Amino acid sequence: MDKSLIEHCRKISDIEHTIDELYRDAVGRLFETNDAVNIIKLKDIYEAIETASDRCLDVADVIEDIVLKYT
């Protein structure tokens, strides 16, 4: 079971790195338009998603640390 938890935590890390790349690409594409209202709205949404993925990674890191400490 411990190995499975660690694998899930590492998968979360991989997903978070993918989200970081997608976030950078999406924000870059936003500024190819001149629609300021849409830019502001979507940028806020993208930032919220990216922040949520960062917090998920933080949780995964803590879980992995606990598993490694107590196994």
As a whole number, the mean pLDDT across the chain is 94
What pLDDT is recorded for position 1? 57
Distances (CA, A) of 14 to 9, 36, 41: 9, 32, 27
What pLDDT digit, counting tens, does each position of 19-31 carry? 999 999 999 999 9
How much is the pLDDT for 65?
Answer: 95
Per-residue pLDDT tens over the stretch 53-66: 999 999 999 999 99
* Cα–Cα–Cα angle for 9, 19, 5, rounded to 5 degrees: 10
String of DSSP letters for 9-54? HHHHHHHHHHHHHHHHHHHHHHTTS--HHHHHHHHHHHHHHHHHHH
Q: Which helix (H) or strand (E) holds 55?
A: helix 36-69
The pTM for the full model equals: 0.86
Instruction: Give yes or no for residue 17 having a pLDDT over 90.
Output: yes
